[in-house]
Amino acid sequence: MATPLREVLDFRERYDLKTLINVIIQISHALEYAHSHHVIHRDIKPENILVGPYGEILLMDWGLAKVWNQDGSSEEMPEPQKPISKSKQKVSSMSDLEVLQGTVSYMSPEQIKRDPNIDFRTDIYSLGVILYEILAGQLPSTEDTVDGVIQQILNETPAKPSTLTKIHVPRLLETITMACISKSVDKRLQSCGELIRLLEEDWS
């Protein structure tokens, strides 16, 4: 029976780190395939990922996906997009808010800014946030209001995971994670293929 990745992360201390990294690798393969077909997901978060009993994954909810056509134009699902407000509502109930797209804590800076040139590297950022959560046991953005999270994502560099946990954090995994969540798209890892290759190295 498949388990939501959110439940896995809520009890991450029960899982071997290699098992959790393998989940990230499987998600990366799914995204690499989508990106190769000019599709970005734009809503990568643990609630949209199911993990099977053998480590297989199912990446769900493509309702916010963006598709590039052969002529260079792009298409989005015709879903109303409302700007992020300066809400003081707690992030724990954020699913009830009509915010930009997806869940704010996993959004890239360019997604928050509604950059019209957003590309597949926004998915790499969101996947990096999940990696950070695996290593640190918490999100990069620690504020408990939507507005606070937004300001942290746009303006603050998160602490390295190794400074937030007593669990050993392999240096390579920390480097990979921080590269994925760089605010500059050009300083991030540039493809899911690159991410897969790095995660398959001997980081232990």
Residue pLDDT, tens place only, 17-59: 999 999 999 999 999 999 999 999 999 999 999 999 888 899 9
pLDDT at 76 over 80: no
What is the number of structural domains in the chain? Answer: 1
Residue type, 161: P
Take residue 179 and report the two structure tokens written for it.
């590269």
Task: Tell me phi and psi for residue 134, to 5 degrees.
Answer: -65, -45
Percentage of the chain lying above the pLDDT 90 cut: 64
Asked whether residue 176 is domain-assigned, the answer is yes
Residue type, 199: L
The residue with greater pLDDT, 81 or 143, is 143
Q: What is the pLDDT of residue 78?
A: 46
The residue with greater pLDDT, 94 or 75, is 75
Asked whether residue 53 is domain-assigned, the answer is yes
Give every CB contact of residue 68 below 8 A, 6+ residues apart in sequence: 38, 39, 74
- 152 and 143 in contact (C-beta within 8 Å)? yes
Q: What is the pLDDT confidence band of residue 143, given thresholds at 50, 70 and 90?
A: confident
Q: What is the reported pTM?
A: 0.86
Q: What is the pLDDT confidence band of residue 147, given thresholds at 50, 70 and 90?
A: confident
Asked whether residue 74 is domain-assigned, the answer is no
Task: Tell me phi and psi for residue 141, to 5 degrees.
Answer: -95, 120
Q: What is the pLDDT of residue 69?
A: 65
Take residue 165 and report the two structure tokens written for it.
């946990």
Asked whether residue 135 is domain-assigned, the answer is yes
Report the distance separating Cα 159 and Cα 164, nearest Å. 8
C-alpha to C-alpha distances, 119 to 25, 91, 110, 116, nearest whole angstrom = 20, 26, 9, 9
Residue 135's domain spans which residues?
3-67+83-197
Q: For 150-163, what is the mean pLDDT? A: 95
- 100 and 130 in contact (C-beta within 8 Å)? no
Residue pLDDT, tens place only, 77-119: 444 344 444 455 554 444 444 334 348 999 999 999 999 889 9
CATH number at residue 168: 1.10.510.10
119 catalytic, yes or no?
Answer: no
Q: What is the pLDDT confidence band of residue 68, given thresholds at 50, 70 and 90?
A: confident
Asked whether residue 204 is domain-assigned, the answer is no
Asked whether residue 173 is domain-assigned, the answer is yes
C-alpha to C-alpha distances, 130 to 64, 127, 169, nearest whole angstrom = 19, 5, 15
Asked whether residue 72 is domain-assigned, the answer is no
State in Å, rounded, how far the first CA of the chain is from the last one: 29
Q: What is the pLDDT confidence band of residue 165, given thresholds at 50, 70 and 90?
A: very high
Percentage of the chain lying above the pLDDT 70 cut: 83
Asked whether residue 95 is domain-assigned, the answer is yes
- Would you tell me the crossing angle of helices 192-199 and 171-180 to the nearest 10 degrees? 170
Tokens 């393998």 belong to residue? 22
Supply the DSSP symbol for 51: E
Report the distance separating Cα 32 and Cα 120, nearest Å. 9
pLDDT at 174 over 60: yes
- 127 and 27 in contact (C-beta within 8 Å)? yes
Active-site hit among 10, 16, 43, 119: 43
